[in-house]
């Protein structure tokens, strides 16, 4: 059992009570649900972060787009300075401050339209209006991190489950937003291929009969990184997972610096990292794609005064892409 904040354990019953009240209001029909014209596919998880939803969103967007579908992504844009609806433009100055790090990463990786807003229904309406003006009459919305955003109706609820989710506890002591019993709402479960043998029997007990389980493969693309001792840094929910993947690829990570999830980097951060490299035996930096989109050219220059920065790409593939497409088409028809 994972307990990130043991001091918060007495607060878990209060959090649980809040969940129960929300669920009771929904069951009584007192929580309004909004619908969009296009089908909505939600990609979510039980955890507050770190499950790896963003690479799955990118993989699914690419898979659906390759079939000729018009696809966009609706995201909250966690950490952005505004709650208003906006279309992500990675080319503007400080895009992650305006749109959030994950939406910028998704937009840069796929080239698709990504819309951010605290109100995902409003974001979807704006996306559909923009598509109509561009003479695209139908498409598919991907709802990023949408399992708990139940005010927007969806055709499919895809839920990514990891071994760490299973062993975690509820907020605020842990990082899980809902109990495992919430998986009963899922229409499709996603498991990492290397974890499926151990997790599938444990997950099945919480699912409705015949709920499909899809397997995903994760690969870290690191050909640009030279053989050197590395200093890894990141501001993600599960930094050790990133370090473990680097080491599994044969990279020599001898030091690491961890920042809070969604950390907004400053010049002082870069100077501190540069000094850390100079006082260690490491010769270069390595960080995640999610962190890299927040490092402006000016910040990168400060960092690379001490050593080169390398950014491996985390890719996700579906073990059975034809099955994924067929089942999504059936549910979105």
pLDDT the model gives residue 329: 94
Q: What is the pTM of this model?
A: 0.94
Residues in the chain: 333
Homologous superfamily of 223-311: Response regulator (3.40.50.2300)
Cα(228)–Cα(100) distance, integer angstroms: 32
- For the chain, report the end-to-end CA distance as a whole number of angstroms: 41
> What is the CATH code of the structural domain delimited by 6-218+316-332?
3.40.50.300
Identical fold, 6-218+316-332 and 223-311: yes
Handedness of CA 256, 259, 262, 263 (dihedral sign): negative
Domain ranges within the chain, ordered by starting residue:
6-218+316-332, 223-311
Give the full edge-to-edge strand order of the sheet including 156-161. 86-87, 113-116, 71-75, 140-144, 40-45, 156-161, 188-192, 213-221, 313-318
Provide block-wise average pLDDT over 10 residues at a time, the chain (333 residues).
82 93 85 94 93 95 94 92 92 92 96 95 96 84 96 97 94 94 97 96 96 96 84 95 94 96 96 96 95 96 95 95 96 89
- pLDDT the model gives residue 133: 84
Angle at alpha carbon of residue 323, lines to 321 and 325, rounded to 5°: 70
Please tell me the distance from the alpha carbon of residue 174 to that of residue 167, in angstroms, as a whole number.
10
Distance, CA of 100 to CA of 141 (rounded, Å)? 19
What are the residues whose beta carbons fall under 8 Å from the beta carbon of 70, sequence distance 6 or more?
131, 136, 138, 139, 140
């Amino acid at each position: 059992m994972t307990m990130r904040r043991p001091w918060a354990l007495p607060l878990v019953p209060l959090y649980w009570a809040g969940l129960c009240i929300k669920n009771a209001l929904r069951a009584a029909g007192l929580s309004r649900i909004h619908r969009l014209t296009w089908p909505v596919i939600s990609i979510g998880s039980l955890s507050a972060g770190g499950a790896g939803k963003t690479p799955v969103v990118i993989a699914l967007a690419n898979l659906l787009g390759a079939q000729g579908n018009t696809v966009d992504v609706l995201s909250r844009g966690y950490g952005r300075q505004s709650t208003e609806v906006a279309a992500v433009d990675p080319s503007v100055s400080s895009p992650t401050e305006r749109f959030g790090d994950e939406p910028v990463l998704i937009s840069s990786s796929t080239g698709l339209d990504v819309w951010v807003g605290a109100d995902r229904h409003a974001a979807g309406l704006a996306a559909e209006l923009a598509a109509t003006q561009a003479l695209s009459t139908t498409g598919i919305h991907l709802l990023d991190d949408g399992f708990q955003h139940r005010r927007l109706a969806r055709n499919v609820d895809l839920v990514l489950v990891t071994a760490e989710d299973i062993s975690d506890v509820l907020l605020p002591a842990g990082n899980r937003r809902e109990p495992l019993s919430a998986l009963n709402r899922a229409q499709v479960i996603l498991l990492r291929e290397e974890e499926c043998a151990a997790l599938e029997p444990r997950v099945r007990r919480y699912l409705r009969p015949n709920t499909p389980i899809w397997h995903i493969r994760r690969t870290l693309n690191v050909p640009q990184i030279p053989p050197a001792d590395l200093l890894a840094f990141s501001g993600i929910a599960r930094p050790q997972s990133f370090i473990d993947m680097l080491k599994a690829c044969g990279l020599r990570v001898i030091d690491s610096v961890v920042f809070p999830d969604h950390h907004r980097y400053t010049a002082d951060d870069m100077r501190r990292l540069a000094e850390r490299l100079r006082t260690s035996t490491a010769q270069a930096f390595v960080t995640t794609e999610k962190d890299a989109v927040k490092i402006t050219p000016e910040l990168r220059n400060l960092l690379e005064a001490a050593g080169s920065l390398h950014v491996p790409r985390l890719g996700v593939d579906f073990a059975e892409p034809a099955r994924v497409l067929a089942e999504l088409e059936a549910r979105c028809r």
